[in-house]
Amino acid sequence: MLAVMEIDAADLDGPTIGQVSDRVGLSPDTLRWYERIGLLEAVPRDAAGQRRYRALDLDRLELLIKMRATGMPLTEMHDYVALIHAGPASRRDRLTLLETHRQRTLDRMAALQRDLVVIDRKIDRYRNLLEHDDAQHHPG
């Protein structure tokens, strides 16, 4: 109750950077780099100065990874994190950011489907051509 910002003993048994790396599929370098650029702030260090990720950090990381995987640029992820720092008053803005990104992702998926049509057409043309070839090679 007195030491509000003290290191909690529970912080010291979380996974190390290597374990997190294996778990989430980002390299240790990338994890450290995310911290450097402020996507993941101040992961607590143990007595030896090594990172120990808390459940909190891992939760944040999970969302960040899905944001990246759906193509959100790091700058926008940074904006999102900045909103978190701004406190509960920014929740509406965070929601808007996520909703915008969600829609953008749906739009991109639709575009992918449209773009695939052109490729599918080309695939069909090759299949037809090759059928022809087969007919020539195995007549009768």
Q: Is 38 in the site for DNA (CB under 7 A)?
A: no
Burial class (CB in 10 A: 0-12, 13-18, 19+), 53: buried
Choose the contact partner of 60 out of its own copies, DNA, none; CB within 5 to 8 A by kind.
Answer: none
Nearest to 59 by CA among 91, 92, 84: 84
Q: In whole angstroms, give the CA distance from residue 66 to residue 50.
A: 26
User: Residue 130 CB, nearest distance to DNA (Å)?
Assistant: 28
Residues in the chain: 140
Residue ranges in 34-93 that form contacts with its own copies under rule CB under 8 A: 62-63, 66-67, 69-70, 91-92
Q: Is 49 in the site for DNA (CB under 7 A)?
A: yes
Q: In whole angstroms, give the CA distance from residue 27 to residue 33.
A: 10
Stretch binding its own copies (CB under 8 A), from 7-15, 26-34, 48-56, 101-109: 101-109
In the list 11, 32, 70, 101, the residue contacting DNA (rule: CB under 7 A) is 32
Q: Is 75 in the site for DNA (CB under 7 A)?
A: yes
How many CB atoms are located within 10 Å of the residue 24 CB?
Answer: 16
> Where do contacts with DNA occur on this chain (CB under 7 A)?
16-19, 21, 27-30, 32-33, 45, 47-51, 68, 73-75
